[in-house]
Amino acid sequence: MRKLNIYFTAGIPKLEDTAKVAKLIQEAGADMMEIGIPYSDPVADGNVIQNAHALALQNGMNINTLFKVLEDIKESVKIPKILMGYLNSVIQYGFEDFCKKCKEVGIYGLILPDLPPIEFERKYKKIVEKYGLNFTFLVTPETSIERINYLDSISSGFLYAVSSSSTTGKVDNNLENNPYLKKLAELKLKNPIFVGFGIKNKVDFSNATKHTQGAIIGTSFVKILLENPTNWEEKSESFIKSIRE
């Protein structure tokens, strides 16, 4: 079965909902989750997730608060949890301290889209490995085969295939007969390939995983949390189950 990875931004709809969202994602049938660390300038994200970051910060979510939540759910939420954020906030916390804490609270891996791969190799790879964490890089349709192979070689956990060169939530492309996804499958990379950006429903998920091992749904799920602050649980659960039916 192809794996379903659900992204949400920590701290929405309300600060205290973060643990509930994580538990719901697991119970509704997702295989793993990405938890976004709120940041003031999330450059890789579209309007919906940018708004989620702004609301989460307004609600008071920060790295320390998130780590407390993760500690609380460490034993109850067993599916892999990946933290997705931006380098500056991790550097401010202290990169090694951050990785150490991630290990303590049961984090599976990290995605930091603005961390240059060469800098990762030189300064951070050994620290990430020291604490037993996976680290995922992103590739796009414009990424050369040589660079795809390079990013695959320094990634672990999975390789994040951005479905098009766009920000999250702004994609309207042909996932079913996508030559880029076919190309990735033919490369026989060491990591499983997960497709992200623009996957909104079961049909998208099915098409995106014809040539890959999994897909990531973010914007559509976050939109439910933002638009249904009082009854998000029922709608979120139904949404995830609809992908799995």
Q: Which residue has the tokens 């499958």?
A: 185
Cα separation, 182 vs 178, in Å, equals 6
Concatenated DSSP letters of 134-196: EE--EE-TTS-HHHHHHHHHH--S-EEEESSSS-TT------TT-HHHHHHHHT--SSPEEEE
Phi-psi label, residue 64: left if phi above 0, alpha if psi -120 to 50, beta otherwise: alpha
What are the helix (H) ranges across the chain? 18-27, 47-59, 63-73, 87-93, 95-104, 117-119, 125-130, 145-154, 179-186, 202-208, 219-227, 232-244
Q: Which residue has the tokens 């920060």?
A: 62
Query: Can you read off the two tokens belonging to residue 136?
Result: 């995922």
- Active-site choice (27, 31, 34, 233): 34
- Three-state DSSP class for 213? coil
Instruction: Write phi, then psi, for 109 (nearest 5 degrees).
Output: -165, 175
Is 34 an active-site residue?
yes
Query: Can you read off the two tokens belonging to residue 181?
Result: 């996804």
- Active-site choice (45, 97, 152, 204): 45
Is 176 an active-site residue?
no
Catalytic residue positions? 34, 45
